[in-house]
Copies of this chain bind each other. A is one copy, B any other.
Amino acid sequence: MRRANVVGLGLIGGSIGRALRARGWRVQGSDVDGARAAEAVRLEVIDEAGLDPAAELTFVAVPALAVPDAVKHVLETTTGLVTDTAGVKASVVASTTDPRFLGGHPMAGSEQEGLEGADGELFEGAVWVLTPTAETTDEVFATVASVVSSLGAEVVAVTPERHDSLVAVVSHVPHLAAATLMTLADDRAEEHAALLRLAAGGFRDMTRIAAGHPAIWPDICEENRAAIVEGLDGLIAGLRSVRDVVDRTDRDALLALLTRARAARTNLPTRVARPADLAEVRIPIPDRPGAAAEVFTLASELGVNVADFEVYHSAEGAKGIMILLIEATASDLFRGGLIARGFRPGVRRLE
């Protein structure tokens, strides 16, 4: 029976506990609030309160600013691997050089909150970002990646700095924009009660994330300040340009903007679905550290979807092979990139 720990029993930590237990793991857990750990046992989110020193993997699911201390504590008191779930990564990853740690960020949320909202299926179909560094060994990367994949998530690997700059654009800035739109409408609703009754589906969609619990955001905004400020500056500049287009009744410019936005929205990537579209890529793992993480990071850079993967080690231990399933249409692109980085991939179309 595989064994894991979860530190921090909120929505994410609780959901990880449930998801692991549903897949046969034995899960222990802790929380700064001792009563919550007991409650988690009662709710069958974890098996037992307190950390298992021999657990294979510990998930640290505490607020971003508390992650470095919690990771340090877990590295000292357990012998297994450690990952975290914070929404910012550069500062967290920089806080430890221990190769047993690999940063992570499951991009899943819920309007539920806390342990009560814990849902073992929260990660089905979600992207789970892993942020390997040059120190990340194949074993650590492959283990964490395969465990989070087994929870139904799709692994995307990027550097910690890249993660923070990307999520500023697709998560942090949109969240702050949703909250700003909501408060603006609320201000105006004081003048006229009907305003919010006119808030139809589009407005409800746009502001839905503003209903989330605010508690995680001060840490995120502090840790990712530079990228968020840059993203907000970009949004403000974009809106100022739209404002001028509307003000001077430039119909062509408006249509061009909306047409481009529509195409981009329509083309948002979705998960690989049918096996008929898949290709199998076999990559002998070269005898150097970090190769598995590098393969995944390259896939992300190239926009190649990894639908599934496995890492096999030969009986002698040192060498091994990675097998990835990717979209068949991306196989040349991926092969080109792999060869350029010194890998020797073999690609086979699955029928």
**Interface set of A (CB-CB < 8 Å, partner B):** 107-109, 126-127, 129, 154, 156, 158, 162, 166-167, 169-171, 173-186, 188-189, 192-215, 217-218, 221-222, 225, 228-229, 231-236, 238-240, 242-243, 246-247, 249, 251, 254-255, 257-262, 264-266, 268-269, 300-303, 305
CA A193 to CA B186, docked complex, whole Å:
37
When the two chains form their complex, are residues B184 and A169 in contact, meaning their CB atoms are under 8 A apart? yes
Q: Which of the residues B156, B171, B207, B247 comes within 8 Å of A265, measured between beta carbons?
A: B207
For A200, what are the chain B residues with a Cβ–Cβ distance below 8 Å? 107-109, 126-127, 170-171
CA A233 to CA B239, docked complex, whole Å:
9
CA A33 to CA B62, docked complex, whole Å:
60
CA A89 to CA B121, docked complex, whole Å:
46
CA A195 to CA B305, docked complex, whole Å:
12
Q: Which of the residues B156, B183, B193, B255 comes within 8 Å of A194, measured between beta carbons?
A: B156
Q: List 17 A-B contacts (CB under 8 A).
A: A107-B198, A109-B202, A127-B198, A129-B198, A154-B197, A162-B192, A162-B194, A170-B196, A170-B200, A179-B261, A180-B238, A183-B238, A186-B260, A186-B261, A205-B205, A206-B206, A221-B249
CA A234 to CA B186, docked complex, whole Å:
12
When the two chains form their complex, are residues B184 and A234 in contact, meaning their CB atoms are under 8 A apart? yes
Q: Which of the residues B193, B202, B218, B229 comes within 8 Å of A208, measured between beta carbons?
A: B202
